[in-house]
Copies of this chain bind each other. A is one copy, B any other.
Amino acid sequence: VEKGIQKIVLIGAGNVATHLGLALLQSRFKILQVFSQTSESASKLASKLNCSYTNAIEEITDQADIYIFSVSDDALEFCIKGFPHENKFMVHTAGSIEMDVLSSKSDRVGVIYPLQTFSRQVGVNYKNIPFCLETSREEDFIHLEKLAKIISDQVVRIDSPQREILHIAAVFACNFTNHMYVMAQKILEKENIPFSILHPLIKETLRKTEHKNPSELQTGPAARNDLNIISKHIDKLAELPESQKIYTFISESILKSNEN
Which residues of A come within 8 Å of B, CB atoms? 15, 72-74, 96, 115-119, 122, 124, 128-130, 154, 156, 161-162, 164-188, 190-191, 193, 195-206, 208-215, 217-224, 226, 228-229, 232-233, 236-237, 242-243, 245-247, 249-250, 253-254, 256-257
Given the contacts A72-B224, A201-B115, A246-B250, A193 and B173 also touching, CB distance less than 8 Å:
no
Given the contacts A176-B180, A199-B206, A203-B206, A221 and B115 also touching, CB distance less than 8 Å:
no
Chain B residues with CB under 8 Å of A168's CB are 187, 233, 236-237, 247
Distance between Cα atoms of A122 and B213 in the complex (Å):
12
Report how many copies the assembly holds: 2
Q: Which of B116, B165, B217, B233 has a CB less than 8 Å from the CB of A204?
A: B116
Q: Which of A191, A197, A201 has the largest number of chain B CB atoms within 10 A?
A: A201
Binding site secondary structure of chain A:
helix
The residue in chain B whose Cβ has the minimal distance to the Cβ of A226 is B73
Given the contacts A96-B233, A193-B162, A200-B115, A187 and B172 also touching, CB distance less than 8 Å:
yes
Q: Which of B74, B161, B183 has a CB less than 8 Å from the CB of A172?
A: B183
In contact, A185 and B200 (Cβ under 8 angstroms) = no
- 11 A-B pairs (CB sep. < 8 Å): A74-B226, A122-B208, A124-B204, A164-B232, A165-B190, A174-B202, A174-B220, A175-B254, A176-B180, A177-B181, A242-B257
Chain B residues with CB under 8 Å of A246's CB are 172, 176, 249-250, 253
